[in-house]
Amino acid sequence: MSTEEARPQSVDFIRTIINEDNASGKHGGRVHTRFPPEPNGYLHIGHAKSICLNFGIAKEYGGKCNLRFDDTNPAKEEQEYVDSIMEDVRWLGFEWDELHYASDYFDQLYDWAVQLIKEGKAYVCDLTGDQVRETRGTLSEPGKNSPYRDRTPAENLELFEQMKAGKFPDGTRTLRAKIDMASPNFNLRDPVMYRILHAEHHRTGDKWCIYPMYDWTHGQSDSLERITHSICTLEFENHRPLYDWYVKALGIFHPQQIEFARLNLTYTVMSKRKLLELVRDKHVSGWDDPRMPTIAGIRRRGYTPEAMRAFCAEIGVSKYDGVIERNVLENAVRADLNKRAARVMAVLNPLKIVITNYPEGQVEMLDAVNNPEDPAAGTRQVPFSRELYVEQDDFREVPPKKYYRLAPGQEVRLRWGYLVRCTDVVKDPATGEVKEVHCTYDPATRGGNAPDGRKVQGTIHWVSVAHALTAEVRLYDHLFKVPAPEDVPPGGDYKQNINPDSLVTLTNCKLEPSLAQAEPGTRVQFERTGYFCVDTVDSKPGKPVFNRTVSLRDSWTKIEKKG
Ligand code: ATP
Ligand code: MG
């Protein structure tokens, strides 16, 4: 990450709070954040926003940022997810100062629970989950005190130890904080701190059969790590009083929880539960399917970490939920790849043209500029010969008005090459289908300009038949066909909005030979078509597979205007 990027962004409400804390000396000028994913799935673009925010702030203020796995829910968590999360954070360009697991705090949390029991602030409750819910009250009515609320500390201690020792089946008892069943905030109506769950944990194995709830874990984990600013999404806003209650009751270091609006994007879903469902039901090829909004998916699709960070900086943080247009994300990757991606020529739907006055067997190497946006990228040579592939779309036997590409009698510029004029069309006598197109070239126009100054509007790309590499190209579209796939009528399912045409696979694409050695992950611009990358999973030497990262916006108008 460049120092340019690490400079403070415009001062949003979170940075304002930090600036005020630094000015007042609240934490002695210390800034320590954390990113706390639950390892129950792969990270998505929403997480990228949280990562850029937490790690970005630490960087800007010369502070620290921890990675903490919030692994309190044994049934859903796996090592595979832990590994992928670390890979994704690093890919985004960040490195954690400390690595922690909430499960490392299980002993400490247990001791703290004992402390609250002894102080009469927590009790073992024998109500079932349903009964707890039934007695919780409503928005307008207070809840009912549990009949077990007034157990003595000694009785509670004994029962809690038995819970830990595995004496009771799942769901038969909980440990609850004794707060206020009449609180207007439901989270303070004697929240559950521990539940009984006889389940293997991915790190602690079968050591525990009671597991702490999120609220009983999160603030104390922050406190143990001396996090100064605990940044989370808005749905935790009404958990903050409980967060504060626990750390105050324990008398431990008090981090400040700050909430911001989560990122939502059009044309996708962004919850791990739904993404897991798409993977399990095979609507996509896996967590890293390039159509997925996961970090693994967009990485495989060809997005750059720079583009992701620029996107996160651009959308900023706010207190209000909104939905970001997919375009904003696509423009971020276009802007980045425009600067760095080498231009190459690739024909996706080939049509053969024969330059009848070009000597048979002759090959010329033409100079081509690798990236007009980056002179340092230099030039390369592309072979030109008598038989070339062009796009089927670049030829019309009966051209519409203002069609500046190939058509009978019409002249067009071959990128980096010559002006050619279409002379005739060879068709399959049976089907009438165009088999090939015959042209003549003007030998005086090498490089693309006519010495007599005659105007030729159109420029098209091409690949020499004898030198072409055949590749598979995967064209991706939105995974969902509507902007808000989760807006479904009652009883509906977001999956009914899956776009059946989100992947189009072309298997006979023709690429210029400079791509022969392109390593998996290489990103290029196919001129006039879009940005593409070599697939990291399926591409093999001699059998290349390219993913379309994003199309070029307005490619036509731009090129046709250039003349
Ligand atoms: P999901 O709802 O997708 O399952 P989550 O909130 O359960 O996500 P966590 O692993 O708990 O996922 O999230 C880790 C951190 O990332 C949390 O601080 C959470 O607030 C943040 N986060 C999750 N989703 C988003 C989002 N869409 N935008 C911004 N931050 C997010
Ligand atoms: Mg969560």
Nearest CA to ligand 1 atom 14: 37
Annotated active-site residue 77? The verdict is: no
CA-235 nearest atom, ligand 1: 20
Ligand nearest to C-alpha 233: 1
Nearest CA to ligand 1 atom 22: 47
Q: Are residues 84 and 167 in the same domain?
A: yes
Give first-to-last CA distance, the chain, whole Å.
Answer: 39
Nearest CA to ligand 1 atom 26: 46
33: CB partners within 8 A, 6+ apart: 54, 55, 57, 58, 63, 64, 65, 66, 227, 228, 229, 230, 231
Q: For the segment 423-470, what is each residue's pLDDT rounded down to a tens digit? A: 999 999 999 999 999 999 999 999 999 999 999 999 999 999 999 999
Residue closest to 317 by CA, chosen among 2, 18, 102:
18
Expressed in angstroms and rounded, the spacing between residue 289 Cα and the centre of ligand 1 is 20
Expressed in angstroms and rounded, the spacing between residue 69 Cα and the centre of ligand 1 is 12
Q: Are residues 212 and 290 in the same domain?
A: no
Q: Are residues 195 and 230 in the same domain?
A: yes
Q: Are residues 96 and 109 in the same domain?
A: yes
Residue spans of beta strands (DSSP E) within 490-544: 503-511, 523-526, 530-534
Ligand nearest to C-alpha 234: 1
* Sign of the alpha-carbon torsion through 185, 191, 193, 199: negative
Q: Are residues 192 and 229 in the same domain?
A: yes
Distance between CA atoms of residues 465 and 177, nearest Å: 75
Annotated active-site residue 272? The verdict is: yes
Nearest CA to ligand 1 atom 9: 37
Q: Are residues 479 and 434 in the same domain?
A: no
Nearest CA to ligand 1 atom 1: 271
For residues 505-526, average pLDDT: 97
Q: Which of 233, 240, 271, 320 to mutate to test the pocket of ligand 1 (most atoms within 8 A of CB)?
A: 233
Q: Which structural domain range is residue 404 located in?
A: 346-461
Q: Are residues 192 and 154 in the same domain?
A: yes
pLDDT of amino acid 561 = 46
Which tokens sit at 381? 């040579």
pLDDT of amino acid 191 = 98
The length of the chain in residues reads 563
pLDDT of amino acid 163 = 98
CATH number of domain containing 430:
2.40.240.10
Are 186 and 197 a contacting pair, CB within 8 Å?
no
Residue 518 clears pLDDT 90, i.e. is over it: yes
Into how many domains does the chain fold? Answer: 3
Distance between CA atoms of residues 533 and 520, nearest Å: 8
Q: Are residues 138 and 225 in the same domain?
A: yes
Are 70 and 288 a contacting pair, CB within 8 Å?
no
Residue 559 clears pLDDT 60, i.e. is over it: no
Q: Are residues 351 and 335 in the same domain?
A: no
Distance between CA atoms of residues 533 and 341, nearest Å: 10
Indicate the pairing of strand 523-526 with strand 346-347: unpaired
Which tokens sit at 373? 């946006």
**Residue 17: inside a domain, yes or no?**
yes
Residue 486, φ and ψ in degrees, nearest 5: -85, -10
Expressed in angstroms and rounded, the spacing between residue 77 Cα and the centre of ligand 2 is 12
Expressed in angstroms and rounded, the spacing between residue 175 Cα and the centre of ligand 1 is 27
DSSP state of 556: H
pLDDT of amino acid 1 = 55
pLDDT of amino acid 321 = 86
DSSP state of 372: T
Are 347 and 390 a contacting pair, CB within 8 Å?
yes
pLDDT of amino acid 427 = 96
CATH number of domain containing 174:
3.40.50.620
Residue 86, φ and ψ in degrees, nearest 5: -65, -40
417 compared with 11, residue with greater pLDDT: 417
Position 26: which residue type? K
Expressed in angstroms and rounded, the spacing between residue 269 Cα and the centre of ligand 1 is 13
Ligand nearest to C-alpha 37: 1
Ligand nearest to C-alpha 38: 1
**Residue 266: inside a domain, yes or no?**
no
CA-271 nearest atom, ligand 1: 3
Q: Please compute, for residue 258, the number of CA atoms within 13 A of its CA located in the half-sphere on the CB side.
A: 23
pLDDT of amino acid 5 = 60
Q: Are residues 145 and 245 in the same domain?
A: yes
pLDDT of amino acid 2 = 55
For residues 460-483, average pLDDT: 97
Residue 190 clears pLDDT 50, i.e. is over it: yes
pLDDT of amino acid 563 = 37
Q: Are residues 412 and 526 in the same domain?
A: no
Neighbour tally for 445: CB within 10 Å: 20
Position 414: which residue type? L
Residue 554 clears pLDDT 60, i.e. is over it: no
Residue 558 clears pLDDT 80, i.e. is over it: no
**Residue 321: inside a domain, yes or no?**
yes
Catalytic pick among 121, 262, 340, 421: 262
Nearest CA to ligand 1 atom 27: 46
Which tokens sit at 55? 């790690």
**Residue 267: inside a domain, yes or no?**
no
Residue 10 clears pLDDT 70, i.e. is over it: no
Nearest CA to ligand 1 atom 16: 47
**Residue 325: inside a domain, yes or no?**
yes
Give the residue from 195, 229, 260 where a domain finishes.
260
Q: Are residues 201 and 134 in the same domain?
A: yes
Which tokens sit at 208? 């525990």
Neighbour tally for 71: CB within 10 Å: 27
Residue closest to 32 by CA, chosen among 71, 59, 2, 69:
59
562: pLDDT confidence band, cut at 50, 70 and 90?
very low
pLDDT of amino acid 322 = 87
Residue 252 clears pLDDT 80, i.e. is over it: yes
| Ordered alpha helix ranges (H), 225-325 | 240-250, 272-280, 295-301, 305-315
pLDDT of amino acid 240 = 98
Distance between CA atoms of residues 305 and 288, nearest Å: 16
pLDDT of amino acid 184 = 96
Expressed in angstroms and rounded, the spacing between residue 311 Cα and the centre of ligand 1 is 17
Catalytic pick among 5, 38, 155, 436: 38
Expressed in angstroms and rounded, the spacing between residue 381 Cα and the centre of ligand 1 is 48
Ligand nearest to C-alpha 230: 1
**Residue 265: inside a domain, yes or no?**
no
**Residue 371: inside a domain, yes or no?**
yes
Give the residue from 418, 433, 461 where a domain finishes.
461
Average pLDDT taken over every residue of the chain: 95
HEC string for 32-67? EEEECCCCCCCCEHHHHHHHHHHHHHHHHCCCEEEE
Position 463: which residue type? V
Are 26 and 273 a contacting pair, CB within 8 Å?
no
Q: For the segment 290-299, what is each residue's pLDDT rounded down to a tens digit? A: 999 999 999 9
Expressed in angstroms and rounded, the spacing between residue 41 Cα and the centre of ligand 2 is 11
pLDDT of amino acid 31 = 98
Give residue ranges with CB within 6 A of ligand 1. 36-38, 46-47, 49-50, 232-233, 262-263, 270-272
Give the residue from 461, 494, 525 where a domain finishes.
461
**Residue 251: inside a domain, yes or no?**
yes
CA-43 nearest atom, ligand 1: 10
Catalytic pick among 64, 164, 272, 405: 272
Annotated active-site residue 38? The verdict is: yes
CA-39 nearest atom, ligand 1: 10
